Structure 1
């Protein structure tokens, strides 16, 4: 007996969420596994720290620079095929990393991982959102973006354990394999039809005029700048926190990495899920609900970050880091839902592409280096004090975006002119 249409649609939506969440977990696992085997690669290939750093930079710059291209394609062609192609490319590139016998080959493979993940990253949030009604998108996207803290932790754990037991090459081969197994199911996933039937409306529009449309969308712009400021803070904190714990409290580096990673995963899961739930509830009362949740999280997180960086008590520092990250992760689902809701369906892939480029270019692509340079002048504790300031900037952008949200959402629902 066939399921009723509504039941069948719900089943398809749940299947799509489960599959895309699984792929997104692999996205972060394959991305972070590299850093877990840094010491093994350094010793085996006799690399400097600078050369090691370029392995991460190669990924990030290719990820940023190709995102607009895939965003453009995502609004022209089938997004599911683009996501599946990206999964196949980055999974093969991860396995190619395991076959690399020279630094140049490994560098090229990591750059290719960035290209594949950009293809998936630009289209996947829109795919998830289009399977669900607007009033459920906050909670649904909070589940989808759980992949960030959980997948990152799994990448570090799996990469480290497999690398220690089997060597870094086999670690890459093994973490890359599951992606190939999911490529075919993803390829045959149904492409959800945009609610207003606007897929492809941006096909004939040139890049620069389309970019100006996003910059003129004030809710989109403020949400993106808020995310960039938050990424600046969290990216810098993620790289320098273990060193801060070592220098300020004498916490051994490996233990500091483990503790900080555990704090981030737990805070990330609780904060991300809570933010989606709170955002959906408040959004039913006011069109600014998602932005208000994000702004409140930033305002609560900033003083806790300041406390963590200034206290002389290790237990208080770790507790404050946990509480601060929990509040900061409240923004994940709400701000991404804002992007979905204020951009017409036919432009969402490009919208996420511009967002990806902006938040990383202004965020974690530059903040670790800036903090490092300031640390040489002020010391690491003083340099890290710019991170709570960045969080306050994020709160300001989120709060200011509230005044434009209702009009921009109505315009997106009405479709492009």
Structure 2
């Protein structure tokens, strides 16, 4: 069966895979107290499992998997990655110590790195340019939905069956879905569907394309900078408890619910309205994202000083959940529209690598280290200072998106690389 004839089914399958990927990814967080106790993890070891092991493995493998998706069948690359992460999710239910869990998590992340680069590129081919933002936005609802479902699953099925059986069940579900994906084909032989180059040559070609397309470089850099929101989000609960005096359990539920609702709404809203109104905004999708940043910025900054529980407090929290997800559809639409069809997965993988390594991994490390330095220097409310810093950096992405807008960065491409 060929995906082109069943584009909506393809979107549903890829969305389900994306949700499952983020359920598997976040299940360690949902069961953190039980897993730490059962296999005897220290806090440092647990932090390593949810931080460096995951982010660096996923980030570095994303670009490699992207080159494979450009060179070979994208559905089959997704299927192989899904089978790898599902088998290793199942294996996570059998681990007995830190080393075994670290190995399992490393390969879960490596397998999941195949999904986004191949899926974004495939969706860009399956749907016309005027609908790409909407479709890609729907695909990225898998992030907040997966996060929400992971905690919900841990508190329902996991409460009665335990974390080991939950990992086993998720592994079986993923493996069963991966098998039929391996039999789906795509029309690589048609114009605009030529294969990408071997790994080294593909990376050199990508580097030339990114350097030679200033608008593309600005969009990627702005998208990465916008993800500094997530570097701050990693410490949100600690900040609210330590410096704002709120209850940890109550805030965990509220944070999870707001992320689920407003993250999902942001992905759908940003993709849909970006496609609908970008043509009427200077700079198209880039101008649309810049406008979203300007709209959300005052609420995000005020949130750090607002009284806990106030309307402004929750508006700021909602804006922080909404903004990065609202940018996924428009930003990825721009990126996919400015590169050759033979390079789409590679560039998507490069973008995911930059986001995970620069913004999420190094950004989170900088927030934690900065907080400790400020506390040691006697600065009052050191977490608030660092959280404000991540907000300011994320908001500064408006300069890059506005710059891309001024360059006239739009979805349509030169004829030489147009795929539709």
Q: What is the TM-score normalised by the length of structure 1? A: 0.91
Aligned length: 408
* Preserved CA contact (<8 Å) 1:32 1:155: yes
Distance 1:41 1:353 in 2: 31
* Preserved CA contact (<8 Å) 1:340 1:348: yes
* Preserved CA contact (<8 Å) 1:75 1:203: no
**1:19 alignment counterpart:** 13
**2:56 alignment counterpart:** 61
**1:222 alignment counterpart:** 218
Per-residue CA shift, 1:358-377, capped at 9, x if unaligned?
A: 11121011222211222221
* Preserved CA contact (<8 Å) 1:232 1:366: no
**2:340 alignment counterpart:** 344
**1:305 alignment counterpart:** 300
Are residues 1:380 and 2:374 paired? no
**1:262 alignment counterpart:** 257
Distance 1:329 1:407 in 2: 20
**2:401 alignment counterpart:** 398
1:91 to 69, 86, 89: 86
Which stretches in structure 1 are left out of the alignment for 5+ residues? 1-7
Give the secondary structure class of the aligned counterpart of 2:396. helix
1:389 to 377, 387, 392: 392
Distance 2:189 2:239 in 1: 47
Q: How far apart are 1:206 and its partner, in Å?
A: 5.0
* Preserved CA contact (<8 Å) 1:17 1:144: yes
Are residues 1:355 and 2:381 paired? no
* Preserved CA contact (<8 Å) 2:134 2:275: yes
Are residues 1:150 and 2:145 paired? yes
- Given the superposition, is the C-alpha separation of residues 383 and 414 from structure 1 closer, same or farther in structure 2, using an over 3 Å criterion? closer
Which stretches in structure 2 are left out of the alignment for 5+ residues? none
Per-residue CA shift, 1:120-150, capped at 9, x if unaligned?
A: 2221111122111111111111111111111
Q: How far apart are 1:322 and its partner, in Å?
A: 1.0
Q: How far apart are 1:20 and its partner, in Å?
A: 0.8
Per-residue CA shift, 1:15-59, capped at 9, x if unaligned?
A: 111111111111111111111111111111221111001112212
Give the secondary structure class of the aligned counterpart of 1:167. helix
Deviates more, 1:84-93 or 1:176-185: 176-185
Distance 1:298 1:195 in 2: 39
Per-residue CA shift, 1:256-313, capped at 9, x if unaligned?
A: 1111111111111221111112111223346822111211111222221111111123
Distance 2:248 2:289 in 1: 32
RMSD of aligned C-alpha atoms?
2.3
Which of the pair has the greater relative contact order for Cα pairs under 8 Å at 6+ separation?
A: 2
Distance 1:238 1:413 in 2: 41
Distance 1:120 1:9 in 2: 16
Deviates more, 1:281-290 or 1:328-337: 281-290
Q: How far apart are 1:342 and its partner, in Å?
A: 0.7
**1:3 alignment counterpart:** none
Per-residue CA shift, 1:59-107, capped at 9, x if unaligned?
A: 2111111122212211211111101000100011111100111211111
